Amino acid sequence: MNEIRTLMEKFWICRDSDKETFYKVKRDIPNFQRFIREQLGWKLIHTEKLLKLEKKPAHAEAFMGISEFTDIRDYCILCVVLMYLEDAEEGRQFLLSELIDYVETQLKNYMPVDWTSFTQRKSLVRVLQYMERLQMIRVYEGKSESFSQEAGQEVLYENTGYSKYFTSSFTTDISGYESFRDFEKTDFEEVQENRGARRINRVYRQLAVCPALYWDSAEDADALYLKNQRQWVGRYLRENMGGNLDIYRNAAFLTLDADDCYGTVHPRDAQISESVLIVCSEIQRQLAEGKLKLQEDESIAMTIQALSGIIINCRNKWKNAWSKEYCEMDEDRLVETVLKYMTDWMMVRCEEEWIIVLPAVGRLTGQYPSDYKGDGEE
């Protein structure tokens, strides 16, 4: 087992729930600690009960939220519950009603709080279930889900103490921050005196946790470093994380072998992945025929209507080959689903009325066999 991959895939490793993995990874730390510290610039937390690699990205991307959360309110409630646990001793038990009162007191000055609303109760439940999954709280009696059905339901929890390792620590006051960009800037301030180290960390982080690294100009500092040091960067990534470093004119990718994948990958065995491959193939076909034009940075600017048309036409052409869900999905939802997937995988970027198609679209495309009729037979 590649232990650094285990740390990459998991938010953290708790000894209580996975003792074998905990000790296996902990024993292997000396073998990859230098790579984490010097190339990635990340902090590795290892205590008697927990291992956590703080995987701070070079830049915040669209896919980096908590997948279970669906609303800004979810994140606000999470922050308040973390505050509550910060003041509670490890092992302390508490009732849901106590927590609800605290959340309401802290949030009411910033947003409406009404526990008679199913939507708001469900938001709290999503947060509690997420914290249960990460073992920040433990349920002793009752079920969190019951609160979404009825406001008066009671649940007994225990604070495990892991929540204090959830958030990153900052050396500066962040109370005045107004944007995620402020956090990105702060993250590299500690190595401000060494621009070379900052650049190294940015490049490795982007390649390690993101689908792609892009640059607009040949004079981009990160691009110059990567191209000049491609041999060493490729070697360090391959030895520690696996995969191959592929560098193009305006982009770079860490590509995993099909039989040696980990984490979330594209393409995968799912209809959305298959659909996107077909859409990418159609974009490439139109580019080859001169219907679309590459910009200087190898991107393509399209209206959202144009890309929507491609997505819908692909579905219409291969309707019998797609799953029932995608065949019956209304057009607006289909376009939204495909665009979100392509955005998360850094294949497109939305800019007001325009969609910027990025170089990743040209790397992986797909097509059905010429004699495939879409009925499951060739």
Range list for CATH 1.10.10 in the chain: 72-165, 271-362
- Report the CATH architecture of 271-362: Orthogonal Bundle (1.10)
Residue 131 — φ and ψ, nearest 5°?
-70, -30
CB contact at 8 A, 347 and 340:
no
With cut-offs at 50, 70 and 90, classify the pLDDT of residue 85: very high
State both tokens at 68. Answer: 């279970």
Q: Does residue 14 register a pLDDT over 50? A: yes
* Reported confidence tier of residue 134, pLDDT bands at 50, 70, 90: very high
What lies within 8 Å, CB to CB, of 259 at 6+ separation is: none
**Tell me, what's the pLDDT at 19?**
95
List pLDDT tens digits, range 37-47: 999 999 999 99
pLDDT tens-place string over residues 247-256: 999 999 999 8
Confidence of residue 189 (pLDDT cuts 50, 70, 90): low
304 pLDDT higher than 90: yes
Q: What is the pLDDT of residue 261?
A: 80
Coil, helix or strand at residue 374:
coil
Residues 347-373, mean pLDDT to the nearest whole number: 87
Q: Which candidate, 69, 67, 32, places its Cα nearest to that of 53?
A: 32
Cβ neighbours, 10 Å, residue 82 = 16
94: left (phi over 0), alpha (psi -120 to 50) or beta: beta
Distance CA 14, CA 91 (A): 16
pLDDT at 39: 96
Q: What does each C-alpha distance from 149 to 107, 119, 152, 263 come to in angstroms?
A: 22, 10, 9, 34
Q: Average pLDDT for residues 283-287, to the nearest whole number?
A: 95
What residues contact 165, with CB distance under 8 A and at least 6 apart?
12, 45, 47, 50, 52
Q: How far apart are CA 309 and CA 349, in angstroms?
A: 17
> CA-to-CA distance for 137 and 135, rounded, in angstroms?
5
Pair type for strands 50-54 and 13-14: antiparallel
Return the half-sphere exposure (C-beta side, CA atoms, 13 A cut-off) of residue 252: 26
- Tens digit of pLDDT for each residue in 137-184? 999 999 999 999 888 889 999 999 999 999 988 778 888 888 888 887
User: Band of the pLDDT at 193, cuts 50, 70, 90?
Assistant: low
Read off the tokens for 297: 């940075």
User: Lowest mean pLDDT: which of 61-70, 203-212, 328-337?
Assistant: 61-70
For residue 127, the 8-state DSSP code is H
Question: pLDDT value at position 376?
Answer: 40
Pick the residue with more confidence: 368 or 291?
291
pLDDT of residue 5: 92
pTM for the structure as a whole: 0.89
Mean pLDDT for all residues in the chain: 91
Evaluate if residue 258 carries a pLDDT over 80: no
The pLDDT assigned to 275 comes to: 95
β-bridge mates for residue 45, sequence order = 52
> pLDDT grade, residue 373 (50/70/90)?
low
Which residues touch 68 (CB under 8 Å, ≥6 apart)?
74, 126, 129, 130
At residue 192, the pLDDT reads 53
Percent above pLDDT 70 for the chain: 95
What's the CATH number of domain 72-165, 1.20.1530, 1.10.10, 3.10.450, 3.90.75?
1.10.10
- Residue 174 is predicted with a pLDDT of 84
| Residue 118 pLDDT grade (very low, low, confident, very high; cuts 50, 70, 90) | very high
Q: Could you give phi then psi for residue 164, rounded to 5 degrees? A: -70, -15
Least confidently predicted of 163-172, 197-206, 354-363: 163-172
